[in-house]
């Protein structure tokens, strides 16, 4: 691993050291998950529409809330380190992949007459979601040396398995996965925040 990669990973780890990003992001993610789940379980598309608005509005607002909280807590205690931003090429690739997947999902829903992805395709998609998210959290835990992300990975895997056992389609199953990840993130974030505050309680930047 070169020095640049090491610096990036240290910056990423510092971003999560206080648990604020997990706490605030976890609440937003759990809200989206609950709305997605109830849009199917209650057969009410109003919840699905609300989930879309929450994703559009709450996620950017939650990012601003994290920065606001860090400015008033973390940066005053242990200094400012910006979160490393992905390169322009990586952002463009992500946007293209997301667009292609969106088109594939839309065409599949129309072709198979299954807008909720409750059939076999939805099952495969749910398995893929559970594996991909769990794996990414395991990698994050290892790279950053933060074992609490293993707990989040376990929560995601458990939620995906439960959703598959209950025969939930992709939309409802994704809602369950996001609720589990959001709840786990909130809990681990609270624990991390408590540890961070105790560890920095005697530093000069502490506010009375």
- The predicted structure's pLDDT at residue 207: 46
Predicted TM-score of the model (pTM): 0.79
On the question of pLDDT at 208 being above 50, the answer is no
Higher pLDDT, 187 or 50: 187
Is the CB of residue 188 less than 8 Å from the CB of residue 151? Answer: yes
Higher pLDDT, 208 or 204: 204
């Amino acid at each position: 691993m070169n020095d640049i990669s090491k610096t990036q990973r240290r910056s990423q780890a510092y971003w999560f050291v206080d648990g604020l990003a997990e706490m605030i992001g976890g609440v937003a993610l759990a809200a989206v998950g609950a709305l997605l789940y109830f849009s199917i379980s209650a057969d009410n598309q109003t919840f699905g529409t609300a989930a879309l608005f929450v994703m559009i509005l709450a996620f950017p607002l939650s990012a601003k809330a994290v920065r606001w909280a860090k400015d008033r807590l973390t940066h005053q205690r242990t200094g400012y380190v910006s979160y490393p931003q992905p390169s322009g090429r990586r952002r463009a690739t992500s946007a293209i992949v997301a667009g292609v997947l969106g088109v594939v999902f839309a065409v599949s829903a129309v072709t198979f007459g299954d807008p909720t992805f409750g059939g076999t395709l939805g099952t495969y998609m749910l398995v893929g979601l559970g594996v991909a998210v769990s794996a990414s959290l395991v990698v994050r835990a290892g790279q950053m040396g933060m074992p609490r992300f293993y707990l989040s990975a376990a929560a995601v895997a458990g939620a995906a398995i439960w959703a598959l056992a209950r025969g939930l389609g992709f939309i409802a199953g994704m809602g369950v996965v996001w609720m589990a990840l959001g709840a786990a993130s909130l809990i681990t974030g609270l624990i991390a925040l408590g540890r961070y505050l105790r560890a920095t309680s005697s530093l000069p930047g502490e506010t009375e």
